[in-house]
Amino acid sequence: MKQETKYWNVDKFVDGLENYPQVREAALLLRQNELIAFPTETVYGLGGNGLVDKTVEKIYIAKGRPSDNPLILHIAERKQLGELVSEIPPLAEALMEAFWPGPLTIVFPKQLGVAMRASAGLNTIAIRMPDHPLALALIRASGLPIAAPSANLSGRPSPTTAQHVLEDLDGRIAGVLDGGSTGIGVESTVVDVTGDVPMILRPGGVTAEQIAEITGEVRMDPGILEEGVAPKSPGMKYRHYAPAGDMRLVKENSVEEMVRRIRKLAHEAQAQGKKVGILATAESKLCYGEDYVVIACGKRSDLISVARHLYDALRRFDQEGVDMIFSETFPESGVGAAIMNRLAKAAGGRYL
């Protein structure tokens, strides 16, 4: 049943955010087991009381999210870990010291009694402390660990503005706290520290290279799950971040070859009557001419800008009503690993 979705515009630089009337109202709704979207430094999250299974179930329903896809609990104080985890491994201590608050989610052994729905029935739980003043104020004001996946319909590009949230979830949730555009633009890195060597389950705002500086060794999960095995982290199992148009990734030995091949593929698709979109960069945008919907997601020379604008670019293709999207690809080092992870998920792993 459709509900009123309240909208609050909050200046994230205001002092005493926890006592800001809009934040207090949103926190009260969270304590009443309603759902509130709020900004973090990565993307907007869809928050609910992470300790109550029925509330967590409402998150899955609002998003249309598969029930075996776990959620991340967001905290504002280290002391909150005491009621959520059964153990804090030394690797976790080192990573928290280096990257919290920030875009790093850590998978811990779970405390008994934590909502089973938040962890999709696993004996582990994913937790992070966001580096955003409004997110931290909301968590503190609510007094709760907040379960919060990205605030979008499941499978859609994640939201980096409050308007993106409303496009997907208006009428499905109780409210949206608007704290402006997010900074990083892709979700947090998820690292599992329950084994001997830290395992990155999802690349994101903290790079593998940064983690290795702290832990000495780090492995990347191969991303292959056996049938019937629940993922330990969001973003591992299902198609995500996808625009409505059919998307393909184009990989060549050089940028020049890649641009030439995309131009050829776009011409062929247009000849078949399709409205074609091209995901480009600022450096290459003018190479494609004016016959297609060409959207630059940032600068190839600055992959942080690509990460920041990626989801907005994918949503703009939907607004343009394109049928087929050809995307440039990027080096898979540093933040490029997170960018290519999201693009591969958006395209369903389809490369040309």
What average pLDDT does the structure give for the chain? 91
To which H or E segment does residue 107 belong? strand 104-109
Q: What is the predicted pLDDT for the residue at 122?
A: 80
Q: What average pLDDT does the segment 100-119 reach? A: 84
pLDDT band at 310 (very low <50, low <70, confident <90, very high): very high
128 marked as part of a ligand binding site = yes
Contact status, residue 252 vs residue 352, Cβ threshold 8 Å: no
188 marked as part of a ligand binding site = yes
Q: What is the predicted pLDDT for the residue at 234?
A: 52
Q: How far apart are CA 182 and CA 42, in angstroms?
A: 6
CATH number of 246-346: 3.40.50.11030
Q: How far apart are CA 157 and CA 69, in angstroms?
A: 17
Q: How far apart are CA 303 and CA 337, in angstroms?
A: 10
350 marked as part of a ligand binding site = no
Query: In whole angstroms, how far apart are CA 319 and each of 17, 122, 172, 295, 308?
Result: 34, 38, 21, 12, 19
Minimum mean pLDDT range among 64-73, 104-113, 291-300:
64-73
Q: Quick one: what percent of the chain has pLDDT higher than 70? A: 91
Q: What is the predicted pLDDT for the residue at 223?
A: 64
Q: What is the predicted pLDDT for the residue at 57?
A: 92
119 marked as part of a ligand binding site = no
Q: How far apart are CA 336 and CA 148, in angstroms?
A: 25
148 marked as part of a ligand binding site = yes
Q: How far apart are CA 189 and CA 348, in angstroms?
A: 20
CATH number of 6-220: 3.90.870.10
19 marked as part of a ligand binding site = no
Q: What average pLDDT does the segment 197-205 reach? A: 94
Contact status, residue 188 vs residue 72, Cβ threshold 8 Å: yes
Q: What average pLDDT does the segment 55-71 reach? A: 85
Q: Is the pLDDT of residue 233 over 60?
A: no
Q: Is the pLDDT of residue 342 over 70?
A: yes
241 marked as part of a ligand binding site = yes
Q: How far apart are CA 213 and CA 159, in angstroms?
A: 31
181 marked as part of a ligand binding site = no
74 marked as part of a ligand binding site = yes
How do residues 33-46 score in pLDDT, each as one tens digit?
999 999 999 999 99
Q: What average pLDDT does the segment 48-73 reach? A: 87
pLDDT band at 155 (very low <50, low <70, confident <90, very high): confident
342 marked as part of a ligand binding site = no
Residue 25, SS3 per DSSP = helix
Q: Is the pLDDT of residue 1 over 70?
A: no
pLDDT band at 112 (very low <50, low <70, confident <90, very high): confident
- List phi, psi (to 5°) of 272: -90, 5
150 marked as part of a ligand binding site = yes
Q: What is the predicted pLDDT for the residue at 107?
A: 96
- List phi, psi (to 5°) of 145: -75, 125
Minimum mean pLDDT range among 52-56, 177-181, 226-230, 239-243:
226-230
164 marked as part of a ligand binding site = no
Structural domain spans, the chain: 6-220, 246-346
Half-sphere exposure of 77 (CA within 13 A, CB side): 12
Q: Is the pLDDT of residue 229 over 60?
A: no
